[in-house]
Structure 1
Amino acid sequence: MTIIAAADGSALGNPGPAGWAWYIDDARWRCGGWKRGTNNQGELTAVLDLLRQTAHTDEPLHVLCDSQYVINSITKWMAGWKRKGWKKADGKPVLNVEVMKALDAAIQGRNVTFEWVKGHAGHEMNEKADELANSAAKAHAAKKLPDAGPGFPGATAVGAGEDPAAPPTAGKDNPKGTTTTTPPTEPAPADEPDLFSLDGLASGSSSSSGPGSEPASKSHTSANAGTGSGSPASGSATDSDVFAQVVALERSLLDDAVRLDRKQLTRLLDVRWRQVDASGRTWTRREVSEAGRSHTGVELEVVETRRLSDDVVLLLWRASGPDGVSSLRSSIWQRTGTEWKQVYQQGTREA
């Protein structure tokens, strides 16, 4: 009988406190996470842990996933990356290469298929995996460890360590995949593609033995991150951490893959969100999601960060486009619980 499981990842800030999870039923599920990681690292690790937890079975495995990035990485691009020495078509190193190598090893000889499902669309198993991954990320944000779950019966190997970019190996000398003392490394930069439930992509299944192709090189948003002054306590470590998180969130909104992803926008933009652009037009969250405007090549330069209250931050920044036109943007971010969401933005074109 085929094992059907949903896998998902979550990151509060992307990068930020991160979680991963897979779910089969209430008796078979697992989750985990890290203090700092990305959505993609969570998605990849969820699949890796699922593969390792079910490695002792002979049953086929069918993975439900709302990440096109994960599915394509495993079924289409991985073979080509291996042939090129784990390099992309543009010669740059593959992101999250250690996790990719671990996935490649874990899937060898297995009967594994993948199916894309639309995120946040009421799919019961996907919603459960998303809930577990998000809870794990929130636990790490609160400096707590999440309930790891029961796992898969008879499992002998797991796949998540302290470092999301380099999960521990699992083998005869390390059957449980225990973590070494290697310190965590900095996660992938914010321009990492995040291809989740993109509208217009058809749901379907793909096997784990796809061609070794990959997409053409894509230019991503570059940014000059920094923090400004403005509040009496702006030099404190607490404010610096908050400002860095808000800047990272703002930068992620310039990634076209994120802006075209309703799942990501729901997490980053408040339901009351409004934007007044440089032309004077007012946008809602739904309108900006449906418009699909590209921000490729836009650079972010922080002008000032100011804490308006304990849970509200004003970010003033300059957006410079590839056409040479620049504008000043004022973004207001509000924290609810452990999550920051943008509630308002206004742009003014510079002369």
Structure 2
Amino acid sequence: MAWHNGRLKAAVALVAALLVPVTAVSAAEAEPQAQNVAAAALPPGSPAAVNGQLKVCGVRLCNQSGKQIQLRGMSTHGIQWYSQCIKTASLDALANDWKADVLRIAMYVQEGGYETNPRKFTDMVHGYIEEATKRGLYALVDFHQLSPGDPNYNLSRAKTFFKEIAARHKDKTNIIYDMANEPNGVSWPKVKSYAEALIPTIRAEDSDSLVLVGTHGWSTFGLSDGKDPQEVIKNPIKATNLMYTFHFYANSHKQEYINTLSKVADQVPVFVTEFGTQTASGDGGNDFATSQKYIDLMKAKKISWTNWNFSDDKRSGAVFKGGTCAGNSFTGTGPLKPAGVWVRDRIRTADDF
């Protein structure tokens, strides 16, 4: 049924796009008025148009034709801090110059994010989804829970948020729901309980889009919390079309983490929704050699990824040089820090869709 539903959703989206003109609203301007933005259409030949409705096949990610694929792209920084970096010029560069497949929309729940103004941040996400869609990118909606580490603290907020997001965008074939960013200091059974409590809320609106959930230990399958990654494998979440997320920062997470990712990716479906070439702080020196080991592994095993982060934050993990986001020059390598040059080059070598 997933394949048929995907075709139906694509048809509905196309009809909607033909009937309603697309409104030229930049993502940076997508504030509370975002609910009035007309539904965007996927450009022919774009990654999301070619691949359509995503589905899990075995332990891999497949497109609407059942072909195993790897998506590559970028994560925003927290949209409460760096929305100025997500605008028409930067998103055009991401889609056309970087040739990305996916935009991860990092909506923090705490730290000045969603809980301070649910209406504002939900509408911002609506706007970013439409902007990604207009460019043929997958829109990965990240419920960026971080502190407290137990996602159950935000369960009611997550249900409210995802119910509206799924209800509005259920007919899109390029939507991905990430239910919890980095659970930490919490047991795997509690994370599983959260996911199994939230998934029915999403599925009541959207029956077949891809859902993701962070694993314990800051999305390391428990490794960074000193737990056995096999806890997840032995006690999987009861859901369909679901993948587990893994995060790494190459200058902190060396061979043990590479080995863990390699092993678990052969046991359950995995999506690397966040990684950096620096230390776990998102700052410090770049370890491109270890990063390349991860890139090679993810390519070999068709593990999709998004890099942290698409902003001009002062840290080395932000791809743009300071001050870049105040202007409109985002193409080429000129505006980029070393990590940005490195990751752009690897995004541009697209998978064979």
TM over 0.5: no
Larger radius of gyration: 1
**TM-score using structure 2 length:** 0.26
Which has the larger strand fraction?
A: 1
**TM-score using structure 1 length:** 0.26
